[in-house]
Every structure is written in structure tokens, then in C-alpha cells.
Amino acid sequence: MNIYRTRAGLRHQFRDVLNFYYPDCLDTAVGGYVAQLDERDGHVYDTQTRHLVATARGVHNFSLGVLADGPHWCRYAAEHGLQFLSSAHWDDDRQGYDWLLEGRTPTDRTRYCYGHAFVLLAAARALQAGIPGARGELERADRVLEDRFWDSEYELYADQASSEWDLAAYRGQNANMHVCEALLAASEATGEPRFLERAYTVANRFTRDVTQATDGLLWEHYTADWEPDLSYNEDSPRHQFRPPGYQPGHHAEWAKLLALLADHRSEPWLLERARELFDAAVDLGWDDEYGGLYYTVDADGEPIVADKYGWVHTEAIGASALLSRTDDDYLEWYDRLWEHARDHLINPRYGNWYERLTRTHERDGPNHGPAVEPGYHPLTNCWLAMRVLEEAPAAFDSGRC
């Protein structure tokens, strides 16, 4: 039996990830989180860098810890991070969130929609958890996204701007996906219908309309008028944030979001498209020889970057858990993904997830850098699986293993 079909197994994994980061991630001198912990043994390799996304994800993670009745220190840790997010990262003169800090000093004030989306997500989860100041932060992040990034002509979000709010021409899938995620969380936290309506609009526009140009697959990079830029970064296949190709992980992630939207909307296309996108993720991305999902592929499923990323597999786990509520076939993928993660991607000593492995599941480096992944993906998808187990326990019935 897959232990991750049980509450105990999921909670154990959830707490392992939280415990890996706490208390070493808290900085009581500078403030905020030290997110740069070595994934092998947890030692801190950078005490000063503060990345907007890492800060926001930390607030989100510890807020989920509160919501999931996790360790008692989750509330303090969430409060600690939210205070830093709302003060050090916020640029009151230019009304936006700074991307990168050294201590409390801004070193990169580029305005990324992606980063602002994570602030909205963090504030929404913090509001659900009852963290002081969360509502004000949610309203502020929502206002910036609406006033600065929303493009009413295309009904999608722009991607980035200078510190003075000059918009770049580039448009991207990833920012819109994470705004959709944040809007869903804001809807849950506030009960305001407008958040759900906007999430639906973005999902409909991107996963149905925009993808018509690429035969239903999710391309990552676009021009200012939302035409696929198929040559974008074609000479940089390992670009950290904007690689070329199709990403199986993002197909699974959108499948997850559509399945969540289907909990609130009755349109049949939501679950139909969610299944299509998940099926595309595993059909194109699964490595039949070594197991696991590739990072990027071409339209025929040939790998461009064959590395195996932890976040890709956690998103597929969350999507398969949600889809299993209406189709037993997705339980097979849920079990297979957890098996692969247990064998290769989860640190056997601490329970945190490795960021990246080679195709044959070897670690090719320390995976250090300012833009780290502080447990947001495994925590989010463990939490979703726990919700499925609690709300629809028959979906994980061990008799169907």
C-alpha cells in the first residue's frame, strides 16, 4: 500500500519539509527568512540574500502549517516572514515589491508579475491562517497586480516592468499560471467572487484560447500580443527561469488549477481540459527508460533537458490526487509518482526534496543560488492530497490499490 494514501503518511512528509527549514530559516537580526539551505544537509550557504519569491513562499508554507494543524511554531514563523515581506520588500515610493535584497537593501527592483503573484498567494494563505496584517497585504498585492500588470485587451497579465513601471514586451505563461493560483487562494480566503471570476478568465484564456496556436500544448513564451515566440531562448536550453520547449510540470500544474476551479464552477470543460493537460504531461514527459518526468520536451516528447526536477513531480502528484476524485486511473499515476519521489527525489535523511537530478537520478551539483525553492511545491501538494483524503476519502481507499 502507498503510505501517501494515508493521513499519517502525508502528514509525516508535510512535517518533514517544515522541519527541514525551521528554525534555521528564521533570521531575527536582519529579519525575514534565510532560504538558502543546502538541500543535502541543511547548512546555510548564504545568510544575506532575500528573494521576493522565497520570502513569499516561506510565509505561504508556514501559513499552510497553521492551517494543517502543524507544529505550534508555524504561526510565529508566518508572522515573522509577513512582517519582513510587508516592510523590507515593499517599495513605498514606487508602489511595488522589490525582487532581490541584500539584507534589507534592494539590489534588484525589477517588478515581476510572478513575484507579485506569490505575495498575493502568501497573503491569502496567511489570512486564512489568521496572521495579523494579512488582509492589508492581500489588498495591496491585488491592487498592484490589477493596476500595473492586468491587460484588459487580452485578459491576461503582463510579465515584468522596470522599477519605474515601464512594461517589457515579453509575455509569459508562468506568471499567469501563478496569478491564477493566487486568485483561487484569495477567493478561498476572502469569499469575494471577483477573485474566482478573474481566475476563471485567466484559465479560460490561456488554456483554451492561447493554446490553439500550439495544438493545445502550453508554450511558455509570447510576444506582447500573445503570439507564441517559438524561438525564444532556443540557444539557452538550460535557462534557469525561461527555458525553451514545453514543460510537462506546467501542464500538470495547470491541470491541478483547473481541477480546483472545477470545485467552484460547473462548466464541463474544466475537468475535461484538466485531464487533457495531465495526460499530455505524462505522455510527453515520462521517461520510460529511467522513470520520472523530463524538465522540457519538444512537441513530440523528445527531451530538450532530460533532468528530473522535484517540483515537477510534486505538481503531478497534486494534480493526480485531485483528478482521482472522479477517475480511478489517476490513482495509478499518484502511486507511481510517489514511488519515484521516494526512490530518488526525497532526501532520505531529512525528508526535503532535491531541486534537480540528472536523467539517471544523480545529483550533478549543490543546486545553490538566490532563487531557491524553500519547500513550497511539496508542501502545497501534500496539503492538497490531505484535503482530498479528508473531503473524499473513498478516492484513496486502500482497497483500490
Q: Which residues are catalytic?
A: 250, 377
Grid coordinates in use for 195? 477573485
Helices (H) then strands (E): counts for the chain: 12, 17
Grid coordinates in use for 268? 464541463
Cβ(386)–Cβ(65) below 8 Å: no
286 forms beta bridges with 293
Cβ(304)–Cβ(243) below 8 Å: yes
Packed helices 113-128 and 173-190: angle between N→C axes, nearest 10 degrees: 20
Burial 197-220 (b: 16+ CB within 10 A, else e): ebbbebbbbbbeebbeeeeebbbb
C-alpha–C-alpha distance, residues 261 and 248, integer Å: 20
Grid coordinates in use for 194? 471577483
C-beta atoms surrounding 272 within 10 Å: 12
C-alpha–C-alpha distance, residues 262 and 192, integer Å: 17
Residue type, 262: A
Cβ(382)–Cβ(321) below 8 Å: no
Closest CA to 67 of 4, 136, 122: 122
Cβ(238)–Cβ(305) below 8 Å: yes
Cα distances from 85 to residues 111, 153, 323, 375, in angstroms, run: 15, 31, 34, 18
C-beta atoms surrounding 67 within 10 Å: 17
